[in-house]
Structure 1
Amino acid sequence: MPPRDPSALVAEMSRAEKLSLVRGTADPAERATGYLPGIERLDVPPLRLVDGPLGVRAEGERATAFPATLATAAAFDPALAREQGAAMGREAVAHDQHVLLAPGVNVVRVPHCGRNFEYLSEDPVLSGTVGAALVDGIQSEDVIATVKHYVANNQETSRTQVSAAVDERALREVYLPPFRAAVAAGVGSVMTAYNRVNGTYMSDHADLVGGVLKDEWGFDGYVVSDWYGLATTVGAATAGLDLEMPGVPAPGAEDHEGEWPDGIPDAGHAGLFGDPLAAAIDDGRVPSERLDEMARRVLGQMARIGLLDGRERTGELDSQRHRDLAERVAGRGTVLLENDGVLPLADDADVALLGPHVHEAKLGGGGSSETTPFHSVAPDEGLRARADGTVTTARGVPPVPSRSLFDRLPYLDWGRDDEESDRPEPSLDDAVDAAADADVAVVLVRDATTEAEDRDSLALPGRQDELVRAVAAANDRTVVVLRTGGPVETPWRDDVAAVVEQWYPGQADGDALAAVCYGDRDPGGRLPVTFAPADTYPASDARQFPGVDGTAHYDEGVFVGYRHFDAAGLDPTYPFGHGHSYADFAYGGVTADGTDRVTVPVENTSDRPGREVVQAYVEPPTVEGVDRPDRVFAGASPVELAAGERREVTVSLDDLAVRRYDPDGGWTVDAGTYGIAVGRSARDDRASVAVDR
């Protein structure tokens, strides 16, 4: 069938048919997260939307459970992210879905955000680079990617109503760039956030949706609401929102009016793009041409993936290459924070594997990203399969209860079982005894984060800190493996021999853990977020987070994450970009091609292969009256070097690191000398060069 023109199709449609393309309805197969019924008369097929971004979450179906998106970002490897995006695209096709609701690119503003595990970084350049790669991968398989949640959705507390009071410079330099990068990558869909920005709900925000996104950036896809996230009919339609989802109330929602917990949208608030939109067109509050544009944008993306011309799509589900990729992403994203020579483990070492969840894979956080795999490897399974020595397990302390958005929905009886309920009561003494008898003690600890709920503390929940201290006192070769959705406090770090951050490793949990612990894979990850005590982060008072009187004040401006720690002269526990290798690397002198790229020779000076992440930071000139960060991340290049190998490594520098936004004059590049530092983290320079502009 030859390609059909979306505009010509719209011209053939009745108004009722156009309205059916801008408002979701129930999926007859009860598998899709969102569903458009199509128009049989014109051979327009249905459009099915499915949850991500840790894998495909089709109702009642299984798929590859990839690691938390934060782990993907920790690899600092856009090529790897593209591979993951393509794999998720193929699995969406295998499930007969057309739109993947991923990736999430909201900048990590506060470490307490319960959804940080779905996002990428505290830095806009890293978030944009990795997010664009995920988009490119997803859409390479004829699946529409949906970048979310546009914009300034940086907390889950009161997320359906809180207003982000954020100035234009911070929006332009920090929060908007990852979305702009996705648009530049050709993303087909943008999802608006629940929250307000400077008092206006994002679904109604004409300046940011119609103005910045569509007019300024030239976005030609469709803008979709978050689920039950449409504020008004006329406001949304005239602001530029194109598609209401899910478009119909949740079954049983009408029986729970007024019972919606904080962070949970009213699932009865739906249908605003149905009869109310038709009435608004009739009385002139919404131009009829606007409905035509909405339908054309949706059809345009359907045409792009071949839905309007019968193009065949080839899916792939639970293949060996997807299993291998899930393990590779988990391993590449694992960060070695500390190591006093205890890692990698000797093959014949006797290991005590301890922690309340050593018998289960940590798949992800709670909420719409929950993915059910065909296959998973628990930590104890992975280590036992790899070890030549004995592996003894003990839980030590009670499990950390899981948390999920779905447990809080008043119209659902989720019936979640406690995964540890059939196990005997754990004993701290048993864990200490096992540690004392082992060559090495490996303690697995975790947090519990979920969509729709922020953490109230950065401390590990339950008695896990007590477990670590007790084990460390019994064995001075103790390794702590963090499995968290973001930064946590590590009060015992001086008492242990090694600290590893594994994030939420997904279905390949145990295999990835064993590969890194035994040195089969160099711990290639670097921190995409800063680790520090809770009260030292920039948004650490109630006015800034979670806000007062319905408003979260972004008083820190552009000083988010490592930028704040630099400006305040504070030493973080572990800085942005930090991570050790099992190999050692030497850097030579750096040369610059203006502010576009830098090149530096890097040599592996050890007797084993290793993976280095060469990072570049730009230090802007001083401009009177302008408060700029001391330095900003500009780009990175991962490189794998054999023992003794030396290679010239080039890092492309993102233009965002050089420019600043002037609310009066727009984007500006100041004249002066720019320092460019190359090194291993935001606090570990190895070479530098100065460039005049």
Structure 2
Amino acid sequence: GRRAAVSASTAFLQEVEGPSRVCASFPGVRLDNGGGSSSAVLGLAGPQECVETCRRLSNCSQLVYSAGNKGCYMFEHAKAERYAKDDGSDLAQITSAFCTDGGSSSFRLEGLRAQLGQSTARQERAEVQRRWREAEQKASALIATMTQDAKLTFVRGAPGGLGYAGFLKPAGLPPSVMPLKMQDGPQGFNPYQVKLAGTATQFPSLLSVAASFDPQVAEEYAQAVADEFVTKGANVLLGPDVEVTRATLTGRCFETISGEDPFLGSQLVGPFVKAIQARGIIATVKHWLDNNQEIYRQTMTSVVAERTQHEVYMPVFKAAFEAGAGAVMCAYNKVNGHHACENGHILTKLLREDLGFKGYVVSDWGATHNGERSANSGLDVEMPSSKYFANLTDYIAAGSVKQEKLDQMVTHVLSAMYFVGGMDGVFPAEKAGAWGHLPATTDGHRATALKTVLDSAVLLKNHDTLPLLPSTKKIALIGGYCKHSNDKRFAQGSVYSSGGSGFVMTTRTITPLEGLQEHYQADPSVEIVHSTDTSAAAGADVAVICAAAHSEEGWDRQNLSLP
């Protein structure tokens, strides 16, 4: 191993005086051997002593410390590459670091840090590609044993029910393998039944995750969502939504983890996808492609140039696929005149050839218009039924769809199942029944939701207003939304959560009025008054205006005005 690969050099041990040298440590990272002279020191108490030893040596630019043998391995020249043959089994015992001289040291360290990040990303992408190759090989071997009828069950969806959005019930699989239960949405488990309201956490919108600018927030959010999907027995998440917002009036812009920035979305979507799929749940990235409005979404066309596709609308999808996303949902809209779910250019050229996507393409619900064109263009699964793919057998018999195409479609679905561990029990097989009624929300999940809200909040101006001063004795709440969480004018959603497939019904809403009343319950000297007009503000120390603009799936806002 590492110790045998390092040779000692006494000329290397040259101490320097003064604190001018600085180091940057990377716990849990095993760097590859550096260059030039090298030295090994055994028996050190811990990684910090190793780092300090390297810092004192004038020619030490890189170190690797192993707690297993308390060995400190130092190198003259830094190499910002991870150890390629590392299997990751003992990284908890490893610390690596770079050290450099003063002056321009911060620039040098930042450069090494950036190079290491690029090296890590390359290795992670290579590992994802390796896992896909392995999944495809297993899928191909199993498909070779299937009947034609069994293959067709992989591409024909079934309508939802029992609190789920839809099903895919493949035949020819071992009894221990769970069928695919698809569920909205990326902002929590949408039970679709009023009687199940409150059994899942109503998480903040994905746009809130974007506003946090923090990949860790995205990861923790996704982990909590995945927990609830496991509890409720759904092993396909219909999300995340990653479209780069073109028009802020669109009804579903609250759902996107990208906001208006493809770079931001690219940084956040990877941790989200990995956290979801680590639990054996297939992440379905949506909506491919150029889905930027709700009105006329079934018939309108987005006219987008190739350069714009690659620079603006595709990068977040690319980042999701590099993280291993197992599925992508094609959109309702047309792209350059052709429906997205039967558009060979975006489903084959852009998706498969340019971005290297390996998983399966599933239609949005009712977005398929022609089975023959969709199959030949690159659609793998029709949802929520087989209205058009019911005729695949006839198309194959007539030669208009090749048998190889059907085999390829099945391979995409089965490969995704292998990739996330669905064939190996990562998702508990006992969840194959209907478990959508089970309570899944927890104090921990709600704490994650609250943390997301806090991390995403933007305070534009605060002049001695927040936090409220102890001298505050009268607080006025202005507006109906201070008191009410529902509005009959909304077709979907609520005052505090936008509507559509991404909406999660809850019974735990606390209005601003209720929250303040509870907070000041023990202090009768504080008066809290409410009115729908400005009358409550008379004589108040503080006035809180509750205003909200609503958006939801199926329609777009006419303007940015608050109601």
Instruction: Please report the TM-score for the alignment, with normalisation by the length of structure 2.
Output: 0.68
Please list the CA deviations of residues 240-268 of structure 1 after superposition, one character each: whole Å capped at 9, or x if unmatched: 111111015xxxxxxxxxxxxxxxxxxxx
Note if contact 1:238-1:290 (Cα within 8 Å) is conserved in structure 2. Answer: yes
Query: Quick one: which amino acid aligns to residue 526 of structure 2?
Result: T
More helix by share: 2
Structure 2 CA distance for partners of 1:395 and 1:117, relative to 1, 3 Å: farther
Q: Which of 463, 466, 487 is equivalent to 1:340?
A: 463
1:437 matched to 2:539? The reply is: yes
Match of 2:154 in 1: 21
Structure 2 CA distance for partners of 1:41 and 1:441, relative to 1, 3 Å: closer
Match of 1:290 in 2: 405
Match of 1:97 in 2: 234
Query: Quick one: which amino acid aligns to residue 440 of structure 2?
Result: L
- SS across alignment from 1:73: helix
- Paired with 2:219 and 2:453, the residues of 1 have a C-alpha distance of 15
Query: Quick one: which amino acid aligns to residue 271 of structure 2?
Result: A
Shift of 1:312: 5.1
Q: Which of 441, 444, 462 is equivalent to 1:321?
A: 444
More strand by share: 1
Please list the CA deviations of residues 181-236 of structure 1 after superposition, one character each: whole Å capped at 9, or x if unmatched: 11111111101111111111111121221112112222111111100001221221
Shift of 1:26: 3.2
Structure 2 CA distance for partners of 1:297 and 1:351, relative to 1, 3 Å: same
Shift of 1:374: 5.2
- Paired with 1:297 and 1:208, the residues of 2 have a C-alpha distance of 17
Query: Quick one: which amino acid aligns to residue 380 of structure 1?
Result: L
Q: Unpaired segments of 5 or more residues in structure 2?
A: 1-134, 432-438, 486-494
Q: Which of 519, 522, 525 is equivalent to 1:386?
A: 519
Shift of 1:95: 0.6
Match of 2:168 in 1: 36
Q: How does 1:155-174 map to 2 (within 5 A)?
A: 155-174=293-312
1:460 matched to 2:562? The reply is: yes
Shift of 1:348: 4.8
Note if contact 1:124-1:177 (Cα within 8 Å) is conserved in structure 2. Answer: yes
- Paired with 1:383 and 1:460, the residues of 2 have a C-alpha distance of 23
Note if contact 2:164-2:191 (Cα within 8 Å) is conserved in structure 1. Answer: yes
Instruction: Please report the TM-score for the alignment, with normalisation by the length of structure 1.
Output: 0.55
Q: Unpaired segments of 5 or more residues in structure 1?
A: 249-270, 397-427, 462-693
Query: Quick one: which amino acid aligns to residue 363 of structure 2?
Result: S
- Paired with 2:279 and 2:178, the residues of 1 have a C-alpha distance of 18
Match of 1:74 in 2: 211
Shift of 1:376: 2.9
- Paired with 2:445 and 2:357, the residues of 1 have a C-alpha distance of 31
Shift of 1:391: 5.2
1:357 matched to 2:481? The reply is: yes
Structure 2 CA distance for partners of 1:227 and 1:199, relative to 1, 3 Å: same
Query: Quick one: which amino acid aligns to residue 151 of structure 1?
Result: L
- Paired with 2:347 and 2:373, the residues of 1 have a C-alpha distance of 11
1:115 matched to 2:252? The reply is: yes
Match of 2:271 in 1: 133
Shift of 1:92: 0.7
Query: Quick one: which amino acid aligns to residue 334 of structure 1?
Result: A
Match of 1:245 in 2: 383
- SS across alignment from 1:153: coil
Q: How does 1:497-516 map to 2 (within 5 A)?
A: none
- Paired with 1:41 and 1:80, the residues of 2 have a C-alpha distance of 37
- Paired with 1:104 and 1:272, the residues of 2 have a C-alpha distance of 26
Structure 2 CA distance for partners of 1:353 and 1:168, relative to 1, 3 Å: same
Structure 2 CA distance for partners of 1:393 and 1:41, relative to 1, 3 Å: same
Q: CA RMSD in A?
A: 2.1
- Rg larger for: 2
Shift of 1:160: 0.8
Match of 1:646 in 2: none
Query: Quick one: which amino acid aligns to residue 358 of structure 1?
Result: C
Structure 2 CA distance for partners of 1:453 and 1:302, relative to 1, 3 Å: same
Query: Quick one: which amino acid aligns to residue 82 of structure 1?
Result: E
Match of 2:180 in 1: 47
Shift of 1:133: 2.5
Query: Quick one: which amino acid aligns to residue 215 of structure 1?
Result: E
Q: Which of 177, 201, 222 is equivalent to 2:315?
A: 177
Please list the CA deviations of residues 472-491 of structure 1 after superposition, one character each: whole Å capped at 9, or x if unmatched: xxxxxxxxxxxxxxxxxxxx
Q: Kindly, what percent of the aligned residue pairs are identical?
A: 38
Shift of 1:127: 1.9
